[in-house]
Structure 1
Amino acid sequence: MGVHRVVVLALEGVYPFELGIPSRVFGTAPDRYEVLTCSVDGGPVTTNSDFSVTVGHGPEVLASADTVLLPPFDTSLLTRELPPDIGRALAAVRPGTRIVSICTGAFVLAAAGLLDGRPATTHWALADTFRTWYPTVALHPDVLFVDDGDVLTSAGAASGVDVCLHLVRKDHGSAVANQVARACVVPPWRDGGQAQYIQHPVPAASANGTSATRRWALENLHEPLSLADLAAHARMSLRTFARRFTEEVGMSPGRWVIQQRVDRARHLLETTDLAVDDIAGQVGFASGTSLREHLHAAIGVSPLAYRRTFRGAATPVE
């Protein structure tokens, strides 16, 4: 397999932080990815900050891309119709090329007709405008990113890191993705289906919080871990513990425990040949059937399909 070329199309008003994400993430694995940046005319691009950037390429480089990535740009520049210069640039993209957007980049994909009838996301604050302009798109405004095969869309800022790491994991497996994440000093993954934001303020951690109990739970995922068990460890009443836990984490204790079990199961599916029933026991699910149900609810695939995604077709039977 040759080096995968990622071409980033910088539009006027581009956000500098997100513009740099592809180079930072994919560029950490230079033996696997090449990252090029272009503009619609090859000239400098004004950012939404007080400086401009000079890109190395014009739109012709899009024709050689294996993945095209559109970073976000200033919301004041959003238009319902696709600007002609952007349309001409995107026309150079070969059919079947993987296309990825971050935040407002999804507006460009929608205006180009690339999201018609497909699931997608964008920044939650722009959901109403997006729905009004592009009613044929199945918008999911409460997730970090949506992977619909050859088209991926993500929400704002840090979700751009998430979707890029997701692609590394999808392309080369968890070991390479974890190495890239470690080099970038970011979490190895956040689920695409995770909520974009928490609507209520998250209090600062304190000695009276639930962080110690969460650490204990992660060390004992193979145990039942009922709400009573967690509250007893934290030395709180059930009601107080549930309230504080939800304030700190943004979800109920029960939902959090299931999420941690699914995450641990995913790691074991990626990195071991353990049977599904054995993995279920190690992460605290009552049976392999329970693991299958929870994994499908979380990411929409079976354990075998998930394992094949990261480890190839030669995998044990479930």
Structure 2
Amino acid sequence: MAEGFFRSKKGFTVVQNEITKDANISLKAKGLYLVIQAYISMPDRKWTKEDFMRLAKEGKKAFDSAWKELKESGYLKVHIMSDNGCWRTEYELLDEPEEGPHTLYHNADGKVTSDNLQRAEKKKNNLVSEEEKDHYPQNGTNGIKDHYPPFGSNGNGSNGYGSNGNHTNANGGNNNKDYNIKPDIKTDLSNPCPNQDVDTMGEKYSMEFIEQHYELKPKYVSALQEKSINTVKDVLYDVLNTKKPVLRVMGEDKPASVVKSRLLKLDRMDIDYAIEQYQKQVTKVHNHKAYMLTVLYQAKSQGDLDISNRVMYDFYGAGRKVNGTGGGADG
């Protein structure tokens, strides 16, 4: 996902009486509101959340607390917008608080299709804990045989991008290419469960669940992303439903429960980031599903690191050399 920017305001900095007199808002949240209001009214400059985080001498924890308070009190709205197959974020500081959700998801036409409250409720309803329910129906949803075959779109293994019945990729080789996000990562996985028989697979997580949980339904997927999203769905389905106790990821044997737990914590933003990294790969990838699993496994932590690196570069790298407006305190 591209870095998010604040929507600019014109004119002089004016702190609205609404928030100044709001006894329910803490002084730290009011202070953050004032700082953001002052900077986003400056012309010819776009400001990010990370810019203001760097200005908080109290540290990230204090900033996050004030940021959350502004969102939950209705003074700060987050807009997640579809843009040419990717997602971009815009932040909006309001003069008066608005009740309701603080994060709004827009489609390519600008229409709000969901919000943080709807998504939280949907995830709560769809994520079935192991203690509450052992598994989804063996033959799919409501007894209908609508589940995907193991390892992709045919019964012999992955589709054209993955492994075949001989446990090699469709081009005849094993995937042993380095992953460009982290040089020491090897994608040794020919498929999530080598030599796995169909009888040992159980459909605990249906494809319908995966589409709902990760917001991967067709209406949320652009034409540019469709091919990559289908690969992601196949990988998630295979790994989440395997009964193998150990999976090989990044050149190491990892408990399957750990891998599944990490994948279940991903959200749509993480998946979009993973696809972005997947598409940046310039060397030939023989086993696309193994490569995609590696990218998904690293997506959340690597995405956070990338954001931190960009912030450090903006404040201490080339960004500060341009007229002294690198986004720091002197910006």
TM-score bracket, shorter-length normalisation: under 0.3
TM-score by length of 1: 0.25
TM-score by length of 2: 0.24
Which protein is bigger by CA-based radius of gyration?
A: 2
* Higher normalized helix content (fraction of residues): 1
Higher RCO (Cα < 8 Å, 6 or more apart): 2
